[in-house]
Structure 1
């Protein structure tokens, strides 16, 4: 049998088209579309192809973005500088308004005996720097002042006023903090004119009369230390804590004594028969108490007989 449809006929071999998209005779005979073969081949090739890198911004675009961020940052810094200037103006304004109140407060404090030594000893940080000899010297302290410079950022001074005392000749001792010629913070203080044999910074170590160690430096050594003014914790405590409100530390002693003691009404209306004595004195006073009780009983008996 002739023709391509008989049982013994062979199928034509598939060949790629020689040009363009014209189908081969075999492909046309089978009714196949050559585009299917092309698409399949392209898919197979893409499966083994390396991944295509994503597009990245050009170097010019990155540079423009950085310049825009830098401009924005400069605007923020300018606003911060303006804010700082306004804050300083406000601080100077209210510093002047507070000044007469500070002056009036100091005059009133001078009429309270032992105000400053009590406030210092009640302060948790300052008290750790004051030994018994320092405490005696601070009994003569009459006034504390913190005075800021006109340009607040340039510095301040702390003034200690003392009355006549057996330790030093000074009536006023000042420690000042300011910016040096190179813009670096520096400090300086008034030399203390110690009286003979009374230099508290040179006393020997040991125990004071209350049994406290004198191993630490005297508080007055602080006036001669100028190594690192930026980390002067004592100055910060005096300026930012003690000076704004010293009354809170003076009143601590009174509040603590009032918590455990009797108030005026308790003392007036209390039971007179209650007697508080030390344990060590109990045995010594037992005999005296018995004699007192006997005397009271005898007096009562005499009154009954007279009656």
Structure 2
């Protein structure tokens, strides 16, 4: 193995750092432009999806990252889900809000449940969530507290982790039609990186085959 020229590397360290920062800025600009161009397409898709009963419930059940943390108790609640929408910050698309819209249901009083992701100066993702106002006896997250087999998806609104939000915003939402028909070719979820809404629990599930990444 060849030796690294430490002195030469040190002499250009600042130049390398400047290039890295410039690259990062360009990547953000590209992501911002993509979000801008895709917005009208997603708006047209939104109108089409509204004609398909339980579309988003099926998508949530089919998506691997979601399925990894869903329980059977979640499904009848998700059947009342009418829309999922991802809104990106126009200045920095890494900041985004996911809004889950529900029709009137016997489980909670909220019409919308929201997860907001903000990237701080140190590139750390900070998550803020809606507090769910459960109707009496309907809180499925309480039912799952002592059940290590499956977590409830609705615990997603109780934690400050951005991992699942990232899968929802950048895979499940963008590839919704492919996920609906269960087409593995378009998904990017790699379940070797487990989505765990409870940091104290160990992941004991067997690893599933990975989906193919986009080229």
State the TM-score bracket (shorter-chain normalisation): 0.7 to 0.9
1:197-212 correspondence runs (5 A): 197-203=137-143
Which position in structure 2 is the counterpart of 1:18? none
Which position in structure 1 is the counterpart of 2:10? 70
Which position in structure 2 is the counterpart of 1:218? 152
Displaced runs of 4+ in structure 1, greater than 3 A? 179-185
Q: Which stretch of the first structure deviates more once superposed, 156-165 or 142-151?
A: 142-151
- Alignment of 1:247 with 2:177, yes or no, is yes
**Aligned-residue offset at 1:73:** 2.2
How many residues are matched? Answer: 179
Which position in structure 2 is the counterpart of 1:105? 45
Greater relative contact order, per chain length (Cα 8 Å cut-off, separation 6+): 2
Quote the Cα distance in structure 2 between the aligned partners of 1:86 and 1:205.
44
**Aligned-residue offset at 1:133:** 2.0
RMSD: 2.8
Quote the Cα distance in structure 1 between the aligned partners of 2:106 and 2:127.
27
Q: 1:178 aligns with which of 118, 124, 136?
A: 118
Which position in structure 2 is the counterpart of 1:157? 97
Quote the Cα distance in structure 1 between the aligned partners of 2:64 and 2:19.
40
**Aligned-residue offset at 1:88:** 1.8
Verify the 8 A CA contact 1:129 1:218 in the aligned structure 2: yes
Distance 1:198 1:122, change over 3 A: same
Verify the 8 A CA contact 1:131 1:214 in the aligned structure 2: no
1:83-98 correspondence runs (5 A): 83-98=23-38
Task: Please identify the structure whose Cα radius of gyration is greater.
Answer: 1
SS of the residue corresponding to residue 193 of structure 1 reads coil
Q: 2:63 aligns with which of 96, 99, 123?
A: 123
**Aligned-residue offset at 1:142:** 0.9
**Aligned-residue offset at 1:238:** 0.7
Normalising by structure 1, report the TM-score: 0.52
Verify the 8 A CA contact 2:35 2:93 in the aligned structure 1: no
Alpha-carbon displacement from aligned partner over 1:147-180 (angstroms, at most 9, x marks no partner): 2223427622211111111111111101112246
The answer to which structure has the higher helix fraction is: 1
SS of the residue corresponding to residue 248 of structure 1 reads helix
Q: Which stretch of the first structure deviates more once superposed, 181-190 or 164-173?
A: 181-190
Normalising by structure 2, report the TM-score: 0.72
- Alignment of 1:134 with 2:77, yes or no, is no
Gaps of 5+ in 2: 1-5, 184-215
Quote the Cα distance in structure 2 between the aligned partners of 1:85 and 1:214.
42
